[in-house]
Every structure is written in C-alpha cells, then in structure tokens.
Structure 1
C-alpha cells in the first residue's frame, strides 16, 4: 500500500467514525490516528496473516512482513523476532468473537484508543512491558510487546512447595509493586501467577498488562452469550466461562482497587496448596473457598488471605497498605 492510498484510507476511516460517533469523538479519533501512529510502528494490515492458520510445528514464518515466529508461549501468545530491529517480542492474539458490524466498529475504535494509552503508560512505567505495535486483521487483533526474559511466578514456584513465610513475602512483594499502579489510578484486573514475571536482569517483578482489552473481550463474549439465550428461556445463568480470579463487583462491571487485592489473595491461596482455582471446593451457602485443610498454615495467615478474598467489599481489605500492615506483623 503506497503512502497516498494509506492517507486516503485513513481519511475515510476518520470520516466513517465521525458519522457513527459524532463530532466530539471525531476529534479524539483524529488525533489518535495522527499522533498515536508516531508512537506505534506503522501497521501493515495487508501483510497480516492469522496466527491460527500457521502450522505450530512449522514455525519460522513471517507475520506482518516483520515478525518471525519462534515459539508458541500459550494458546494466544507467540515469541517472535522483530527482524527489522533484531529483538525478541511477544505477539498476543486477541479475537473478539462477534459477527456484528456495530460491535466490531466499536471494538476497533476501542483498541486504537486503548493501545495509544498503553504506549504512553509503558513508556513511563517500568512495571509493564513496552507495547511496540498492534495489527488488525478482520476481527483479529495482535498486540506486539517487549519480551521480558525471566520466569513467571508459576514457573518460579513450580519445583518446590512454598512455606507460609514464602507466600507472605511473595504477596507483600507483589502488592508493593502493584501499589505503584494503583498510585497511577490503574486497576490491573488480571492478576495471575502466569501474568507476573521476575526479570532475570534485576529480579524485578514485571506485570503483563493489556489494559482494559481483556475485560472488553469478556464483556463482548458475555453479551453475545446472553443474547443467544431465548428471552423466555428458563435456563439459569449465561453459558460463558468467567475467570474465577474476578470478584463479584468486577463481574458486575464495577471493578475497585480491592478487586486486585481479591485476585492476589486467590493467587496466594492457589500457590499455597498447589491446586487450580477451578478445583478448590466452595461453600455453596456462603461462596467461600474451602482451602484451609489443604495446607498447614497458621491462623493468622489464613485470616489475612481469607480477608483478601472476602466477597463483601465491606469486610475485604480496601487498600494495599492495609494488607501490607498485617503482612508485616505476620512476617515479623
């Protein structure tokens, strides 16, 4: 695509957004397209191929004319080499499972604005891998970010059973770093042991963070599932799986800073007993996790963890400093 056609395409993209969103958002989108493109590398949608179409046993193919796929990291993430800059990157595949053009237009604009925000954030925050680029191909989006060499918390604790002191110190370390995000008025929303990496170069914790994009994926899927149920159906609930690390207020669309405390507490419980959250039994009457019998922790640490994962916002810790005060007393 030559420069003239790119500019022509960009003008029509902005013009369509103006019709759909009105003049106020037109200005926001206009500046996003003009100025964010200086921060993100130029997107070459015509060269984007679906990662799902790539034979996983035949890596080495070039994605978007720039990224050579080297390794499958997960169902949706790939390690690649940026052949233009000779550096390792991670490609995150995000797919919004919807055929509605209205949803897709909204999602496209959302991703553009959110990635522009993430670029600005990762430029100034050493807790989050740098977002380098993003590519759109139909209903598929690919976020390309800095590769952090190190081990996730899951990998770090994979070969030994942590003691209660190990768990207390780890939670303290995670919450101390997480407070820096809260100080920026950012709720992480996706705290999991495989989303936190200890960087090899300085042993600093790094948080994998895709802003509000993960939540947007879930909300879109939830809406699609809800709409698929007949209005007069007696089926209870919506046939969508929800991450168990999400608190009730998060699922209700009202995340709080204490929602990150809830997720961190669940991660601590899971690491303590070595059982997946999906396999931890729950009291059907209270909704509380029945995990204490799987380990021999003191009542004090059990009390701290249980308060972190308390469903009631009134009882749960409201701020990280509150948790740290109790953890410090326990550790001492």
Structure 2
C-alpha cells in the first residue's frame, strides 16, 4: 500500500528517510502546530498478516509506545514521542526529529581518537543507566543507532528494539503467540541476546563493540577470534590505544555476561577513574584500583611471606634470617660444604663428557653432518608455508609420488635422515618427506564453517564498500577473478555507486542455512540461503524502490585459494 501524503489528517510527509523489513521512516511536518514542527514518523508493519494476532499486536504496540513516551520525557538524549496512531491497519509512531549524524556517518570522516571515543562512552552510559533503571534493555546499540546532535554535540540513543519485537509476533501451531525474531544486529549482540535472553550487560557488550569499531573501522565479523578463549582480537588494529583503555573495552566485550561490567554505572565509574586521578578515599569503593599500589600494610609482610611457597622444614628461617645462633653449623662451615659439593659435580660432569666423547666418536660425525644445514635446528616451522605452496603446485600438476616428491623436500629435512641411512635400511624408508606434504595440503583445505565465515564477512563488508567511504580494501581481501572485477573493477559496483552518488544501507544480514558445500584442492563451492534487508538511496537521500527489498535469496559462491587465502571468485544468484 502506498503511503498517503498526509497521515492521520495531520502529518504531511516530506520524504522517505529509510525503508526496511519492519517498515518505513518518513520526515514529516505537523500541520496542526503553528511552527509546522518537523517530526519523524515510523510506519511499522507486523511480519505476519494474521487477523488472530492483530489485536494482540495492537495492545503490545500501545504498551511499547507508552514506554517510549516515558523514556523520552525522562532523558533529553532520547527522542521524545509526540504521538502514536493506527491507520488502515498500520501502526505509526511520531517522534522528535533530531538533526545530526550517526556514528556510522561520522566514521566516514576518519577513525576516531581514543579521547573522542571516551567522551562518547561517558555521554552514553548515563543514558543506559537511566534506561536500565526502567527495566528495559535497548537491544540494538550500534553505530547507526547513536546520533550526534548538531545542536549540542551530545549523543542521542535512537531506535529501541522493543517495538520491533512486537511487530515480530506470530501465532504458533498450538494457537499461542510467540516473538518470531531476535532483535539486534549480528556481530554487535552477544550470545545470550542471540539466544533470545538479553540482559542489561548485553547493551554494555554492544557499546564496547561500537567503541572498537570507531577506533579500528572494523566490523565485529571482520575481527579474528582467539580459538582458546573465544575473545575478539582487535588491538592490532588500534595500536595507539592505551593498555588501560584496551583492557577496559576487553572487559566490556567479554563473552560471558558475568565477566563484563555488571551495570552501566559501574562501567562509567571505571572509565572516569582511569581518566582522572583517583582520590585516596575512593580506593575502598573500587576494588579494581587497589591492586596497582604497593602493599598497604608493610608491618604484616613477614607473616604473609610464609604462605606462598611454604617449605615446611624451613618455615622458622623466614622470621629472623640475620640471627640464627642456635643453628649447628656456622656460615664458614656451610660455605666449605657447599663448595665441596659444587666442585664434585663439576669434576664429575667433565669426566662424563670426556668419557662419552671417547666412547662415541660417531655421534660427533653426526653433528658435523647436520651443522652445514642452515635450517636444521628449526626447519619445520619456517618451511611450512613453502611446503604448502609446493605441495599445492604438485597436486595440480601430477599425482606420481616418486618423481614429484624428490625435488620438493627442503635440504634441512633430508639431512636429518642421512646419518641414519648408513646404519639401518628400515629407517632409510622414511627418507621421502611424505607426511609434511600431506599436512600442507590439509592446511589449505577449507571447511564448511570457514567458507560460511568468508561469506558472512563478505555480507558485512558490503556496508563499507557500497556506501561511503566506498572502501575497496574488503574487495581486495575477499574477492578475486570475476567477482573482483564485478565489485572493484573500473565499471564495478563500487565505482558505479560512487559515481552516481548512490549508496546502500543494510539492516538484517543473516545466513539462514548451507544447502550445499564441496571443496577440492584449491577450489570450493558453497550454496547458502541469505536473508538481507537492503535499501538503496540516491544522491538526494531518497529511496530507490526498485533496488530496495527485504528477502531471502539462494546464492552459490565459488571460492578459490589465492596466495594461501580463500576468496570469492564468482557467485550465482538463483532467486533474482
């Protein structure tokens, strides 16, 4: 249904600001206000067109609107709610229109400094503390949902997720209502929120990742994960960040909610204490600050020393080391005994070394044979990449093992077998380096999960390639061949959008399932179902409807191994 130019006989639509899976957003003016006050109108549509749940959605919508009204009235960094209404079975929110730019738009001017990011966090945390005091979790904190207001340069928190969840209400087979969607943005929401159980520290996690994005320019999906701990590895992209602030952010984005800051207030106090000198009286209320200074009670130190190593036979010696007149031996006697023991060990060691060298002259020969090899002591780790390259080349050219393996082993590996070959014919069979070659091939093989991760990184990269700053770097890292030409070539998507002044904005991006996967040597293919919410804007900020949709597509990606890195070589869309 096309939106009328006047809504509720009062609000005249000026233009469409955004469109997505949950509805549309308009800039409008209030014709019943003398000033013709501008406002923001959000038209929301339920995901299920079911008369059975319409009444339920309407009730929830009214309740969520009341919450938004309370939040806006209680905090000037949350948009005020002017009105809400239902028209033609569609739901509308009328909110305060705030002129400013989002953090996503601000980043297009360049990465933010640590001081700027701290300032933003310090301004946002009191808002979060207020929202959480109302027992509400925002659930969608990200760079697009924090607006820097032009009037006072203060950040404003927008686009609360509760109303979106209401629009996702569906009816189950048993006749009960259910929330069918998880509110949040992939990458910026923690695991408990992804499971549909958000807590207050879920917003802290999202804010921490937003800060890291402002410092690095990297979306969370573009960051590597420590396989041992599951922690995101981001510090290498922000080397100028101080260790204390990096540790602060690491705590905010901890995988488990119990390891993060418990509240926004605690997070704010921790950051403020790290920015300004800490008065002595505050150290009692901040346990984390007590550890840096030296031990506060020096007189108790002797009693504490006895607990760490606790060698029981000598515990009494820790109390007063200088005065031990009751010991049986004096210091000079101890020195003689200790010197005698050391001398005995030295003489015995020299005798053993001389005896072994005289009894085993062959071992000396073995050492001299291996010495000329420039990499004999650490041949395996440095040559792993070389072996991977050579084994991959061999697998493409031929499968005859004797002829191909002969030239490929490095000299460092073969020399380790030479001394043994003169003594045993059985060990001589181990001379061909077959095992490293197999390992190298296995290392280059891509798994289904790795292929899925590559596609996920590609989806996220579209946010910075197909919108300002029209970044070519992700295309260099993720694509090759035909796909690289289509994306980053002179007539590719990036240059075409940049030339026309058009840009895409993405909402939900999700891989729903993997329908097919295969991998062979340096090629692989994966077919996935991808759900994506995308909106194309022209140079005037108007939506281009023909290229705007929210749908699920079936796409086949052909992958290729290039310079030890898997990339997208081409893709086929089976839906459009």
Same-fold call, TM cutoff 0.5: yes
- Give the deviation of 1:80 after TM superposition: 1.1
Once residues 131 and 275 of structure 1 are traced to their aligned partners in structure 2, the CA distance between those partners, rounded to angstroms, is 34
1:275 equivalenced with 2:225 (yes/no): no
Say whether the 8 Å CA contact 2:112–2:215 is kept in structure 1: yes
Counterpart for residue 63 of structure 1? 7
Alignment partner of 1:322: what SS?
Answer: helix
Mapping of residues 253-332 of structure 1, within 5 Å: 253-283=196-226, 286-296=229-239, 297-332=241-276
1:268 Cα deviation (Å)?
0.7
Alpha-carbon RMSD across the aligned residues, in angstroms, is 3.1
Counterpart-to-counterpart distance in 1, 2:30 and 2:67: 22
Deviation at 1:89, TM superposition (A): 0.6
Q: Which of 51, 58, 71 is 1:101 aligned to? A: 51
Please state how far the C-alpha of 1:141 moved relative to its aligned partner.
1.9
**What is the distance in 2 between the residues matched to 1:155 and 1:293?**
24
Q: Which residue of 1 aligns with 2:109?
A: 159
Residue aligned with 1:177, SS: helix
CA contact (8 A) 1:165 1:331 kept: no
Q: 1:136 aligns with which of 77, 86, 90?
A: 86
Output one character per residue of 1:77-133: Cα deviation in whole Å (capped at 9) or x when no partner: 221111222110111122221133333321111102221333344334323212122
2:165–2:182 CA contact under 8 A, matched in 1: no
Shift of 1:174: 1.3
Distance 1:216 1:66, change over 3 A: same
Secondary structure in structure 2 of the residue aligned to 1:324:
helix
- Cα gap change, 1:144 to 1:167, in 2 (>3 Å): same
The partner residue of 2:32 within 79, 84, 87 is 84
Give the Å deviation of 1:259. 1.4
Distance between the aligned counterparts of 1:193 and 1:242, measured in 2?
Answer: 12
Measured against aligned partners, the alpha-carbon deviations of 1:271-327 in whole angstroms (never above 9, x if no partner) come to: 111133443444567543332222213332222112111121221111123322332
Alignment CA distance shift 1:87-1:241 (3 Å): closer
- Between the aligned partners of 1:241 and 1:259, the Cα distance in structure 2 is 12
Distance 1:105-1:251 versus aligned 2 partners, 3 A rule: farther
C-alpha contact 2:140 2:161 (8 A) present in aligned 1: no
Q: How does 1:134-213 map to 2 (within 5 A)?
A: 134-137=84-87, 140-210=90-160, 212-213=162-163
Gaps of 5+ in 1: 1-49, 55-59, 228-237
Cα shift readout 1:146-173 (whole Å, capped 9, x = no counterpart): 1112233333343132122322232122
Residues 74 and 277 (structure 1), Cα distance of their counterparts in 2 relative to 1, 3 Å cut: farther
Contact in 1 for aligned 2:140/2:185 (Cα 8 Å):
no
- Number of residue pairs aligned between Structure 1 and Structure 2: 263
Q: Which moved more, 1:313-322 or 1:98-107?
A: 98-107
2:77 counterpart of 1:127: yes
Structure having the higher strand fraction is 2
Change (3 A) 1:278 1:207: same
Distance 2:265 2:100 in 1: 28
Provide structure 2 residue ranges, at least 5 long, that are not aligned to the other structure.
175-179, 277-576
Deviation at 1:242, TM superposition (A): 5.6
Indicate the larger mover: 241-250 or 173-182. Answer: 241-250
Q: Distance in 2 between matches of 1:70 and 1:239?
A: 31
Give distance in 2, aligned partners of 1:125 and 1:242.
Answer: 23
SS across alignment from 2:233: coil
Partners of 2:256 and 2:56 lie apart in 1 by 33
Instruction: Write the distance in 1 (CA, Å) between the matches of 2:183 and 2:135.
Output: 28
Q: Tell whether the 8 Å contact from 1:98 to 1:104 is kept in structure 2 after alignment.
A: no
| Structure 1 match to 2:185 | 243
Could you say if the C-alpha distance between residues 103 and 281 of structure 1 is closer, same or farther in structure 2, counting changes exceeding 3 Å? farther
